[in-house]
Amino acid sequence: MTSKRPETDPLGTEVVEVEDHSPAKRVTSNPFPEGQQSLLAAIVESSDDAIISKDLQGIIRSWNRGAERIFGYTADEVIGKPVTILAVPERVDEIPNIIERIRRGERVDHYQTKRQTKYGRVLNISLTVSPIRDSSGTIIGASKIARDITDFIRAEEERAAALAREREARQTAELLNRVGPLLVSELNPETLAQKVTDLATQLTGAEFGALFHNVLDERGERYTLYTLSGVPREAFSGFPMPRNTKVFNPTFRGEGVVRSDDITQDPRYGQNLPYQGMPKGHLPVRSYLAAPVISRSGEVLGGLFFGHKQPGQFSERHEQLAIGIAAQAAIALDNARLFAESQLAREALTRTNTELKRANEALEQFAFSASHDLKEPLRTISVYSQMLQRKYRGKLDAEADRYLGYAVEGAKRMEMLVGDLLAYTQSVTATDAEATPVSTGAVLKMALDNLRANIQATGASIEIDAMPMLLMQEVHLLQLFQNIIGNAIKYHGEAAPVIRVSAEAGQGLWRFCVRDNGIGIEPAYREQVFGVFKRLHSNEDYQGTGIGLAICQRIVERYGGRIWVESEGAGRGSAFYFTLPGAESAG
């Protein structure tokens, strides 16, 4: 039988010239007019798909240009040869099965398979195979349309892989989101480390896992601990810390994840003396996965290590899980470490406060004792100095009279200092339990009664706004007002003192203001005036010890407030502000 290139009708049915085995007779199937045959032949030749015909023995009888482009063979190279030259070895049996279906008159639609080119490249092919019938309806061969879908299949595979990666990433993220709160809520470093190790070992499918991390001891010094999961602690007891080997070093330097299907084939493996490989008695490890645990500040806190005796056990997903858990562990360990450091700092602060309190108590006791014990000898000096002054004034020379005056004045001043020192040490001795609601207005009246002589002597006028109830000791509030108003009267200018006391509510505190028209304070001295024994004027100009405002500051700070002064300078008056806790009701 001989054949030549087929022609195809508009529906894709090929026209094949077929001769029977009798030399005297030739059967030709040619149902189309000559012009239409040429048109159909042109369509077949210009198709991008491979259009091939074969007889029922699988011998190629026609081959278009699309087939040449896809498979690399020219028509002369393949016509007359078995179509099995296109089959890949593992799919050779497909072709007889397809031919058998064609013999039965079946049509094979969009059958996906693989075929190879002339140069051995394997393609993904979609086949449509139809029976070819002669004019009598007898099946005499097959028409095959082959479409190269390699790029489509590759794109589908890549899309499926991307979807799988996205699905795995989402599942990993969801898993890590559930793991995170379990870790961050734990502040005990040892419990946290074990929880991290157990979770990570389980999620990565490792036979065993370990977390090596730095911790603080009770003295604040760092040392390294490790926790294990999947194996007893004794399994590591005889081996050096992992940071000493070339395999483990990258993890402790924070250089990223190390994943190996077989760590024994890693060029860094077995480079450390004296073992030169796996130490005797060590857990068998082939699959290896390690991730550094790095804090938000970039500090390497430790490392997570996983092992399996079988190679190829850790996938990219396991690596992502290890990275995620290491990140969660870093946050949790950082929090636990900060908590431990804060505990140490709190304990140190408590010790310091206790020592400071003890020192303050001792100092206050000393000051109290000293001031109390000094009173009697000072009184003796003062009395006898005054007696000498009264008895011998004018009987000695002028120089002696002056010396006696110095002695009397010094004794008086010393008595004042001792009295104020005692008041200073007692200014904050009350406890919280002793703080009670007190009427500011009533205490102000007491203070003004105590200052009555000075008020009358200077002609001072004092205005008082509505006053609140405060929560503090009455004696402290009395000291506060008496000192500040007393200073306003003392440091007046040429005009009579005019003083106004006001109060306004704030957030949990009342803000008081004592404003005067006195000599004022230069801005440079606004802080200095609250120091102990700090005075801006000589004793000849204004008598005093320089302790009054220091007492006020101690009282105000004792109750959680603050005190400050505002003044536009010399001769412009001053305004002393201070804040104090209020009681629930006002009066």
Residue 544, pLDDT above cutoff 90? no
Neighbours of 572 (CB within 10 A): 14
Q: How far apart are CA 91 and CA 100, in angstroms?
A: 16
Q: What digits encode the pLDDT tens for the residues 287-301? A: 999 999 888 888 888
Looking at residues 65-93, what average pLDDT do you find?
92
pTM summary value: 0.41
Residue 141: helix, strand or coil by DSSP?
strand
Residue 569 — very low, low, confident or very high, per pLDDT cuts 50/70/90?
confident
7-148 folds as Beta-Lactamase (3.30.450)
Q: How far apart are CA 481 and CA 462, in angstroms?
A: 12
Q: What digits encode the pLDDT tens for the residues 428-440? A: 554 444 678 889 9
Q: What digits encode the pLDDT tens for the residues 472-517? A: 888 888 888 988 898 888 888 888 999 999 999 887 789 999 999 8
Left if phi > 0, otherwise alpha if psi is -120 to 50, otherwise beta: which for 229? Answer: beta
| Cβ-proximal residues to 24 (8 Å cutoff; 6+ apart), any chain | none
C-alpha pair distances (Å), 209 with each of 202, 215, 300, 329, 560: 9, 19, 19, 14, 53
Identical topology for domains 7-148 and 430-581: no
Q: In the 8-state DSSP scheme, what is residue 232?
A: -
* Mean pLDDT computed over every residue of the chain: 77
Residue 462, pLDDT above cutoff 80? yes
Contact criterion met (CB below 8 Å) for 367 and 425: yes
Q: Decide yes or no: CATH 3.40.50.300 for domain 158-343.
A: no
Q: How far apart are CA 305 and CA 319, in angstroms?
A: 11
Q: Decide yes or no: CATH 3.40.50.2300 for domain 430-581.
A: no
Q: What digits encode the pLDDT tens for the residues 318-369? A: 888 888 888 888 887 777 777 777 887 888 888 888 887 776 666 666 666 6
pLDDT at 182: 63
What residue spans define the domains of the chain? 7-148, 158-343, 430-581
Looking at residues 371-394, what average pLDDT do you find?
72
Q: Can you read off the two tokens belonging to residue 278? A: 């796996």
Q: What digits encode the pLDDT tens for the residues 112-150? A: 999 999 999 999 999 999 999 988 889 999 999 999 999
pLDDT at 324: 85
Contact criterion met (CB below 8 Å) for 514 and 453: no
DSSP of 540-572, one letter per residue?
TTS---S-HHHHHHHHHHHTT--EEEE--STTS
Residue 57: helix, strand or coil by DSSP?
coil
Q: What digits encode the pLDDT tens for the residues 28-59? A: 345 445 566 677 777 787 788 999 999 999 99
Q: What digits encode the pLDDT tens for the residues 206-243? A: 888 888 876 655 555 555 677 888 877 666 655 445 55
Residue 371 — very low, low, confident or very high, per pLDDT cuts 50/70/90?
low
Residue 418, pLDDT above cutoff 70? no
pLDDT at 528: 72
Neighbours of 200 (CB within 10 A): 28
